[in-house]
Amino acid sequence: MMFKHAVADHDWVLCRNEGTIEDAKMQVVDEIYKVLGCLSKWRQALLLGRAA
């Protein structure tokens, strides 16, 4: 419980792996790109890459 409070106090992102490692990795990368302001471009590239 203390860790969850520290996460909230410091505006950290808590990633919980309730799926695959790939899902967890994508959650981390999404948060990084949100900070960088590039999430929509990254998601578009990812979706185009998956469609191929």
Q: Evaluate if residue 52 carries a pLDDT over 50.
A: no
For the chain, what is the domain count? Answer: 1
37 backbone dihedrals φ, ψ, rounded to 5°: 75, 25
Condensed to tens digits (0 to 9), the pLDDT of residues 16-42 reads 667 888 888 888 888 887 877 765 676
> 30 with 45: CB under 8 angstroms?
no
Residue 41 belongs to domain spanning: 2-48
CB environment 15-49: b (16+ within 10 A), e (fewer): eeeeeeeeeeebbeebeebeeeeeeeebeeeeeee
